[in-house]
């Protein structure tokens, strides 16, 4: 049954006719978090250009970027910005960290945090009677 509308059944299309319907439902239920993970990767992994056209090199870059994005999200508690992703890409291509870029990213992060705080204060003032 559909959790949003329990009186309406969910219809799934499959070619796995030998499996019972509840197994198909369980498979789709297990698949959904994987689909959300790949959506997250597509949204937050802004590849500007490919560093290599070698298949192994592309796999390596993809996995390194996914690990960097996951670690960033876990450590900072928020998804990376497009500037963070650009920094990771440039670091991956050059193999060294640009301190000027780190300072610029820190400044951008401070500005965004201040803007979030201003917005929260403004929102709190509006809600007061």
Q: What is the pLDDT of residues 58-91, one digit of tens each?
A: 778 778 878 888 888 888 887 777 777 777 777 7
pLDDT for the residue numbered 12:
77
Q: Residue 21: which residues within 8 A CB-CB, separation 6 or more?
A: none
Name the pLDDT band for 8 (thresholds 50, 70, 90): confident
Instruction: Report yes or no: 66 and 41 within 8 Å, Cβ to Cβ.
Output: yes
Query: pLDDT per residue over 15-66, tens digit each?
Result: 888 989 888 888 888 888 888 877 777 776 655 555 667 888 777 877 887 8
Name the pLDDT band for 107 (thresholds 50, 70, 90): confident
Instruction: Report yes or no: 57 and 50 within 8 Å, Cβ to Cβ.
Output: no
pTM, full prediction: 0.47
pLDDT for the residue numbered 116:
87
pLDDT for the residue numbered 54:
80
SS (H, E, C) 35-97: HHHHHHHHHHCCCCCCCCCCHHHHHHHHHHHHHHHHHHHHHHCCCCCHHHHHHHHHHHHHCCC
Name the pLDDT band for 101 (thresholds 50, 70, 90): low
Q: What is the token pair recorded at 78? A: 């928020």
């Amino acid at each position: 049954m559909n959790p949003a509308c329990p009186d309406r059944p969910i219809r799934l299309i499959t070619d796995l006719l030998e499996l019972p319907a509840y197994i198909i439902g369980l498979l789709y239920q297990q698949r959904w978090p994987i689909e959300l993970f790949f959506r997250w990767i597509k949204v937050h992994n802004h590849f500007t250009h490919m560093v290599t056209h070698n298949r192994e090199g592309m796999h390596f870059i993809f996995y390194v970027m996914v690990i960097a994005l996951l670690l960033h999200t876990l450590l900072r508690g928020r998804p990376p910005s497009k500037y963070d992703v650009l920094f990771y890409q440039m670091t991956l291509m050059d193999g060294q960290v640009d301190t000027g870029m780190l300072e610029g990213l820190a400044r951008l992060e401070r500005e965004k945090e201040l803007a979030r705080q201003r917005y929260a204060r403004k929102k709190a003032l509006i809600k007061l009677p």
